[in-house]
Amino acid sequence: MSLDWIYYAISWILLTWHSAWDAIKVPVGSVLGTNWAWILAIIFLVVTVRVILFPVFVKQIKSQRAMQALQPKVKELQEKHKGDRETLQKEMMELYRKEKANPLMGCLPMFLQIPVFLGLFHVLRRLDPAKSNKTLYGWTVDQFNSASSAKLFTAPIAGKFGSTADELARLGANGTTVKIIAGILVLVMMGTTYLTSRQMILKTGWAEDPQQRMVQRLMLYGIPLSLLISGAIFPIGVIIYWVTNNLFTLGQQQWVLRKFPPLVTNQKTGSTAPRNAVQPARTGGFLNRAKPAAQVPAKPAAPKVAGPKPGAKPANPKKGRPAKRQG
């Protein structure tokens, strides 16, 4: 399957934003060793994609909430059909269909962004002055030459940490500068990738299932560490896209988590409630030390009748009663 339509779409968005910044007089030439019109075009490529995918992102959050609310029922089914995997899968799919929860929705926004990332990667790799066909994917010769010479702090956006000496010579770049700028951006890319995963895990909590917890650890540590190696083949422009996308994700997740707070499952009852729901006031004192329970005032006791004093004559209960009339 040809991916040319993706390359044309990415090129069109980049060129449209570049023209927009040019129209409002953003300097086309280098300022502080940076061609800001092209850097902003890459940044607003991220904004464009995220605005288009925002409804999908909201559906993802709602689906995750539905899945989280169904966890008590899922556990019941797992206990009921323990050892019968086929029946368990049928029951769970029926439960998801009935409650309109989609387990795959959580990964959909990420999968939809993969073609964009690959498209930008391909387009920026083409920014080689030695290319003969400079008008591919809707570019003009002037636009191609302008983009191929675009730099971030004197490092070409088409350059990468692993660029060969021949590639650097064609781009007119200094190898040390490219390695420093690319290396810093790779570290920032790793850090922001870690923070996006950590933000979501801290808000939703670690999974109780060992396999799901392993996946969370892979997302938290494995993917950022893998970028240390794969980042060497990414053009600087692609790393700018990745970092911007991570920063956008951090802000978007923070907003969504405030608007749709994660659910907390009551371990005793199996019920769920929003994490920021009003909780009973704590009775713990300083450093959560328990205060003594409030004393309930006792009911007043009935008054006791004083006994006779020592040496006193016993009272005659019949004294003072009217005498009986003799008939």
Q: Are 10 and 45 in contact (CB under 8 A)?
A: yes
216/317: higher pLDDT: 216
1 has pLDDT over 50: yes
| pLDDT number for residue 297 | 54
Q: Return the bridge partners of 264, or none.
A: 273
| pLDDT number for residue 281 | 41
- pLDDT category at 112 given cuts 50, 70, 90 is confident
249-279 pLDDT, tens digit each: 899 888 877 876 765 555 455 555 555 543 4
114-143 pLDDT, tens digit each: 899 999 999 999 998 888 889 999 999 999
Q: What is the mean pLDDT of residues 45-69?
A: 83
288 has pLDDT over 60: no
Q: What is the mean pLDDT of residues 272-294?
A: 45
| pLDDT number for residue 101 | 74
- pLDDT category at 192 given cuts 50, 70, 90 is very high
241/261: higher pLDDT: 241
| pLDDT number for residue 315 | 54
Number of neighbouring beta carbons within 10 Å of residue 194:
18
| pLDDT number for residue 292 | 46
| pLDDT number for residue 110 | 78
- pLDDT category at 6 given cuts 50, 70, 90 is very high
| pLDDT number for residue 324 | 53
Q: What is the mean pLDDT of residues 180-190?
A: 96
| pLDDT number for residue 282 | 42
82-100 pLDDT, tens digit each: 877 888 888 888 888 887 7
| pLDDT number for residue 279 | 41
Percent of the chain clearing pLDDT 70 (strictly above): 74
- Which structure tokens are listed for 114? 């993969």
Return mean pLDDT, the chain. 79
- pLDDT category at 322 given cuts 50, 70, 90 is low
- pLDDT category at 28 given cuts 50, 70, 90 is low
